[in-house]
């Protein structure tokens, strides 16, 4: 298995609302964060949920989000974060803006 992302990479969670069993919570879809760690590799739970093998295994990352990016009305300090386990097929790179 080769991991597409590494710690420090900026990523965006895909915006999608498929039916079925999905382990990417709604509140981070479409949001940008930073990969903090490659934590595991695992079969795809969306397939496992239907009794299939979910192979090939896919990397699972810790992706860190600024709370103020998730919730415009976030009440706490700017430094507060949320970290979520996200499987690779839900992530896309944030394009370099050339700057």
Task: Give the residue carrying structure tokens 């976030």.
Answer: 74
Q: Are 61 and 86 in contact (CB under 8 A)?
A: yes
Q: Contact with other proteins (CB under 8 A): which of 8, 20, 98, 99?
A: 20
Task: Give the residue carrying structure tokens 């965006």.
Answer: 12
Nearer of residues 53 and 94 to other proteins, judged by Cβ:
53
Residue 40 Cβ vs other proteins, minimum distance, rounded to whole Å:
6
| Nearest Cα to Cα of residue 63 among 3, 1, 11 | 11
Please tell me the distance from the alpha carbon of residue 16 to that of residue 28, in angstroms, as a whole number: 11
Residue 52 Cβ vs other proteins, minimum distance, rounded to whole Å:
9
Chain-centroid distance of CA 6 in Å reads 13
Q: Pattern 44-73, binding to other proteins, x per CB under 8 A?
A: -xx-xxxx--------x-x-x--x--xx--
Residues in the site for other proteins, rule: CB under 8 A? 17, 20-27, 39-40, 42, 45-46, 48-51, 60, 62, 64, 67, 70-71, 74-77, 79-87
């Amino acid at each position: 298995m080769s991991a597409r992302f590494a710690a420090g990479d900026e990523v965006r969670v895909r915006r999608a609302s498929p039916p079925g069993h999905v382990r990417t919570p709604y509140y981070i879809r479409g949001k940008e964060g930073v990969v903090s760690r490659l934590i595991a590799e695992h079969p795809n739970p969306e397939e496992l949920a239907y009794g299939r093998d979910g192979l090939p295994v896919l990397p699972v990352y810790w992706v860190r989000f600024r709370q103020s990016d998730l919730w415009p009305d976030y009440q706490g300090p700017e430094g507060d974060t949320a970290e979520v386990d996200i499987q690779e097929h839900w992530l896309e790179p944030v394009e370099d803006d050339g700057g």
